[in-house]
Every structure is written in structure tokens, then in C-alpha cells.
Structure 1
């Protein structure tokens, strides 16, 4: 999906109310727009003009930076410091503050409306900070995620939401508000809301299910974490007839609990359940893990938190060893996304990149592993097939170490 960009220009050289007044330039923004960019220029220095800049949506100011910045951007979940992120669709105005009018003063304004685009993003859905037991500040966690080449980060501290109150001025990464519900009967992430439940305390597996239902009703995306973790509270004991959107099949370093999680996910798929898979580093400073190992490589249709979580729920996810190494994706825009329904007999094509000598690609259906293809000598390989059966998904392994798991294509 790609929407054409629009550019609006205006030159202001008439100031009817003189100095200490405002001039407004109107423009409309539709739901197809993911980012607003505003640039302006006026004679300054020896020219003596001083013109301030701000923007308003539906009559309410959404930001103001005086004459400090010549370029600002706004998105749903991030914006230039001094401006509020939030909804974009509506009636907007560039607001010019006319402080001082110098000789031959004119103001050139350019408004760029950037349409929503389909793109692949890499990120972390399970990590911690000092707001529970993570051992690093929120800002340090964000810095580490940026250093790991991630586009988004969820800080899922245990039974607390205070980490969500820290809003960094960092336009290079999206921070997803989140919380890990940590009960005596298993752990589950609530993604997308700064306060997903009124009270996290659970006194029974039934309470866990009720908290999950409450969080989903409030709009959270829910992921059951490390269902086979070898601890009394970490192992999932609240059943799978609960309100959840995805299952974490790869938590941190590959281990027996992940092998069990992968096998159980295969059982769910074979039984007819359509359960998206995710991964997460479960970063704590003390466990010496790194953000984005493993990573979620998501095909998103925009740049907002809601776009990312829609991709999680839709299964448009490749759970990969790293954010910038081995990858699999449909070969073209004509091939449906992972997580899609496919008609029997339709040809599907997947391209694998970043392969190494010794890697093998496994094609998995409800019958188990039905094909194993060696990677060969090159870093790229394409697999074509005609779809049949209940589902098909792909894995890449290097000996006993996984490199990636795709979500399935499903039969109609």
C-alpha cells in the first residue's frame, strides 16, 4: 500500500494586522496521511524580520517553536519537540506569529503531506527497565534499542506502568506503551496502552483471564509470554481459551522452553487455531541479553503504534534471530502477506535473504516438515509453490540454531 504525497506551498508577503499578530494558512489532512512536514523561510539576520511558527488542528494549537526551527514534523505517535503527537486527520492551520516585519519581508511556507506506506520494521516486544527488574533506565533502554537497529520498542515492566510516563524526545524510534501482567499462573504482555487494567492483582487463573479480557476490551494487544518457562509463575497455567492475540514462541536465547513453545504453536496450528507468533529478548541487564535478539520483523501499513500492533495481530511477522540479518518475505506486492488466507492452488513465492553456507530452509505444514532446502552458496534463495492444505510456514535453521520463523499462510 502506498499513498501519493502532496505538497502545498504558500508565500506570505502581506501582513494586514502588522506586528504582534498572527497569519494562518489552512490545509486539510485525510486518513491516508501518516506524517505532516512543515518548512518555512523568511529574511532574518540583516533583514530584521522575526516570524514564529506553530500549527493548529481543528482550532486547537498542537505545537509552537517560535523562530527556533525551520522544519517540523508530526505523526500519530511522535513529533518534533515542542509539538504534540496525536490524530492527524482534520482541518489544520500553519500559524505564523508576526513578531517583526523587516524590509521586503516575505515568508515561504511548504507543507508536505506524506501518505501511508507499506514497509518492513524491526522491533522488540518484550523488555524491561528499572521500573521493575530490568536494571536500566527507560532512556538507556531506548538507547540500547536504537544501537540494535530497532524501529520500535515495548518496555513491558512487571505489573507497573510508570515506565510509560517517560516520553523521550527521540524521533528515531517508536516506544510502545506496555505492561507485563505477571501472575502466579503465567505472564502476558498488554501492548499499546499506558494503563491497560485498573488493578493487575490476580488470585486465580480465572482472575488472569478476566484481566486479559479487561485489557483487550480497553484496546490492548495481548501476547502470552514464554508459556513453557521453567518457573512456578512463569509457566502458562491459565489455559488458551482466553483473550489473547499472539503467542511468544521465542524468548531470549534459544532453549528447551522455546523448543516446547514452537512445538506447541505447531500443535495449535494443526488443530485449526490461527495464532500469530512473536518473539522477544525479555531483556534484563542481569540476563545479559540484547534488545532485538530475537526481533519481530513486521510488515506494517504506516508508522504508528496502532499500525505495528495491527501487524502483530494479523501475523504479518517474521520472528528472526536479529533485526538486520536473515530474513524472509513474500517475493512481491502481488504475493499476500504472511498471516493471509490463500486459495488452494494459488502460487506463492517467498524470498530468503542473508543466508549463510550451512543454513537450511524448512517448509512446514499441518503434516510437519515436508521439505528441507539447503541454502547453497549464495545469500539469497527463492521458493515457489502452489498452496494446498491448512497452512504453510517457513523456518531457517543453522544446525540446531534457529534463524527465523515466518507466520503461516492459511487456507481459505
Structure 2
């Protein structure tokens, strides 16, 4: 892949004079994740006043006047005053010519940053005061940022009002979401501000219908805490309807999570290649913390759509906390978690942040294949791939610490 694109241009001719506009065209391809525009002009004693904005397909996407010398736009976040949205297409940097001072010239730099692979860590299941979470949306975002997260889904129960609030926070991607909360189980609809027209379910078949509606609209669907010990929290709507992932770790490690882990293994053995997730299920009253457990995703870009694509592909490591313990495939041309691997291909997974007494368990269709007890905080497991699938767990005694999604046989 070629590098980022950069356009440098100097404007020193203003044919329409003051109170006019100058437009600088550029084209953004589908492989771009961020637009950066910077400009400089003589000010102060020079007397020039030049405003800045951008337009896409002839429509203004933002305006900052002469307040900012540098602005950025991404699909899901942008400098305040600019609209998020798709980037591909025909663009113009727009200069508003307010006042032309002596020897006025404007230096404009446009950079188009290409998508790249990166690891992002975040929260896929949490709540705010828009249902029963007990904190404002902005407080939830602050808590997630303070915990070192890159993204946050606020999955309030059967409501979407939390999705209307747009945070002016360039350091956090906030995923629009809703937790469908029925008498027959809970499921997250991720990625849409309004996934369904009416959430009410009067039977398990209604739950299935709402899932199909949300999926048709483009939502990513995660079945939550399938073995929760409550009449409505336990999943009772079947596992045949399409869903994108299964939440096997909800909050603290408990018997209901152990049941979900065992059930996931059964699904894998039966040939169901179901990705898994974790979620704190934060409510202020349950004293949980965002990102405990966390989802560490290998993402191809920097948008909400990229994050959810990684969830669906199983490029996810579920860990007890965001940064203390990590696992990632290593080596030249290494396959990602969730990918298909030819038999005999080398697999190498690097674990960092291990504690004394942690053990790494290798799991395939026959159960536990091997157990490794490292003596150091960093350790790499290497072996040739064999069998139908291979995944990794980290435990400290009976305490779960980390789960990877599997590698699958080609």
C-alpha cells in the first residue's frame, strides 16, 4: 500500500477580492480514514482575515472561520464545527476571503491519511441514566476515557435517546447502540442510533423478529449474558436466529460466565464459528468499571464500522482489564484471530502482562490440548496449526483472565 497523500498549495491571487470564496479541490478515495487540513496566512500587522471550511460534493461539511489553523475529519469524529460522515468523494477546502492585507498569501496543506491496521480496546456493553445506568452520557464517556479505552458502546435498555448526544471528544469513539431487553433474554444491537422501530416483544418469536429487523438495518447483534440467573436475563429465544457474537464474559467472572464459556465451546465443536465478546455491563449501582472485561480488537481503520467489522470477524481478545494482560498473533504474515489457517501453518501468539501463577491453556475441538505455565511476564506460544480450531485462554487458578477467539481450519 502506498503512503499518505499530501497536497500543498499557496493562494496569492484573489480574483473576486474580499467577501468571496476560493475553493481548492481534492479527491478522497475509499482507503482514506482521516482528512487533515492546515492553513496559514499573514495576520496581526498584515491585516488579512481568511476563514476556513470544507465541502463535499458541493455541500459544506464544516466551517471554523479564522478560529482554527488545523482541522480533521473522520467518519465518526471531527473537529468541532465539522460534520462526521463518509469521506470518499469529491472535496474542496473552502477559504472565505474576509480581508486581504498587503502581500497576502495563504499556504494550505491537505493530508489524506490512509487506513491502517491497529489494536483498539474498548467497551461493548454499558449503561447510562437514559435507562438504569445512573450516570450521564458525558460522565460515562469520561469514565471510559479515564480507563484508557478507545471506544464505548452505551447500550441502554430499550431506548435510543442516549444516541442523540454527540460528544465533542476526539479521543473516544462512541458506538450508537441499544440493548433489546425482553422477557426472554437480552441482546445488544450495535452501530445504529435507531436499530428497530418498536422494541416491544410479546413472545420469543418477536425477539427473533426484532433481531432480524435490526440485522436488516445494519446492526451488529450480540446475545448478552445467555445464562444470567434471572427470569428475563437468561436467553430463551434460541440460538438458531442469526447473531454476530456471543457475550461470554459479563462483569465479574461468575458461574453464569463459566456456563457461557462451556456453551461457546459446544457451539465451536458443532461447527458454529461464533465470535465472542465481553462487557462490563456497567451500572453505577453495581460498582463495575468500564472495560472490565475489555475487548481488544484488531481493526482495519479507525471508524465505528471498522470496530464492528472486527467484532463480527472474531478479531477480538477478551481480557479482564483493558491494558494489564494482552495477547496478539506475531510473526511475518501472521493470521489474525478469527481467520482461516491451512493445516501445518505456524501459529505464534505473544502474551504480555502475565502474573506469577498464570497459565496459558490451548483449546481445540477435543478440549484442553496443552497448558503452559510461563515464568515471566511475556511469553510466546508457537506451534503448527492442526485440527478444526485453536484458541487460547489465560487463567490464574479458577480466575479467568483472558480469552482469544479461535483460529479456524481452512
User: Do the structures match in fold with TM over 0.5?
Assistant: yes
Q: Secondary structure at the match of 2:206?
A: helix
Report the Cα distance in structure 2 between the residues aligned to 1:403 and 1:256, rounded to whole angstroms: 15
Report the Cα distance in structure 1 between the residues aligned to 2:94 and 2:178, rounded to whole angstroms: 38
Matches within 5 A, 1:225-374: 225-332=224-331, 334-374=333-373
Q: Secondary structure at the match of 1:215?
A: helix
Report the Cα distance in structure 1 between the residues aligned to 2:65 and 2:397, rounded to whole angstroms: 59
Alignment correspondent of 2:382 = 384
Alignment correspondent of 1:39 = 38
TM-score of the aligned structures, taking structure 1 as reference length? 0.99
Kindly tell me: are residues 200 and 408 of structure 1, through their superposed partners in 2, closer, same or farther at Cα, counting changes over 3 Å? same
Alignment correspondent of 1:400 = 398
Superimposed CA distance per residue, residues 85-114 of structure 1 (whole angstroms, 9 cap, x where no aligned partner): 111111110000000011111100000100
Q: Secondary structure at the match of 1:312?
A: helix
Cα offset, 1:402, TM superposition: 1.4
Cα offset, 1:3, TM superposition: 5.3
Cα offset, 1:330, TM superposition: 0.5
Alignment correspondent of 2:186 = 187
Cα offset, 1:68, TM superposition: 0.3
Contact 1:3–1:32 (CA under 8 A) maintained in structure 2 = no
Report the Cα distance in structure 1 between the residues aligned to 2:173 and 2:381, rounded to whole angstroms: 33
Cα offset, 1:332, TM superposition: 3.0
Report the Cα distance in structure 1 between the residues aligned to 2:356 and 2:328, rounded to whole angstroms: 20
- Whether 1:109 and 2:113 are equivalent positions in the alignment is no
Cα offset, 1:325, TM superposition: 1.2
Q: Secondary structure at the match of 1:410?
A: strand
Matches within 5 A, 1:206-225: 206-225=205-224
Cα offset, 1:346, TM superposition: 1.0
- Whether 1:162 and 2:154 are equivalent positions in the alignment is no
Report the Cα distance in structure 2 between the residues aligned to 1:28 and 1:372, rounded to whole angstroms: 53
Matches within 5 A, 1:119-198: 119-198=118-197
Report the Cα distance in structure 2 between the residues aligned to 1:83 and 1:101, rounded to whole angstroms: 25
5+ residue gaps in structure 2?
none
5+ residue gaps in structure 1?
none
Q: Secondary structure at the match of 1:319?
A: strand
Q: Secondary structure at the match of 1:339?
A: coil
Contact 1:3–1:117 (CA under 8 A) maintained in structure 2 = no
Report the Cα distance in structure 2 between the residues aligned to 1:360 and 1:144, rounded to whole angstroms: 31
Moved over 2 A (4+): none
Kindly tell me: are residues 365 and 159 of structure 1, through their superposed partners in 2, closer, same or farther at Cα, counting changes over 3 Å? same
Report the Cα distance in structure 2 between the residues aligned to 1:306 and 1:368, rounded to whole angstroms: 34
Report the Cα distance in structure 1 between the residues aligned to 2:331 and 2:21, rounded to whole angstroms: 49
Superimposed CA distance per residue, residues 146-172 of structure 1 (whole angstroms, 9 cap, x where no aligned partner): 011000000000000000000011110
What is the aligned length? 410
Report the Cα distance in structure 2 between the residues aligned to 1:375 and 1:388, rounded to whole angstroms: 23
Report the Cα distance in structure 2 between the residues aligned to 1:3 and 1:11, rounded to whole angstroms: 25
Q: Secondary structure at the match of 1:363?
A: strand
Report the Cα distance in structure 2 between the residues aligned to 1:147 and 1:367, rounded to whole angstroms: 41
Report the Cα distance in structure 1 between the residues aligned to 2:358 and 2:2, rounded to whole angstroms: 38
Kindly tell me: are residues 87 and 407 of structure 1, through their superposed partners in 2, closer, same or farther at Cα, counting changes over 3 Å? same
CA RMSD of superposed structures (Å):
0.7
Q: Secondary structure at the match of 1:168?
A: coil
Contact 1:3–1:116 (CA under 8 A) maintained in structure 2 = no
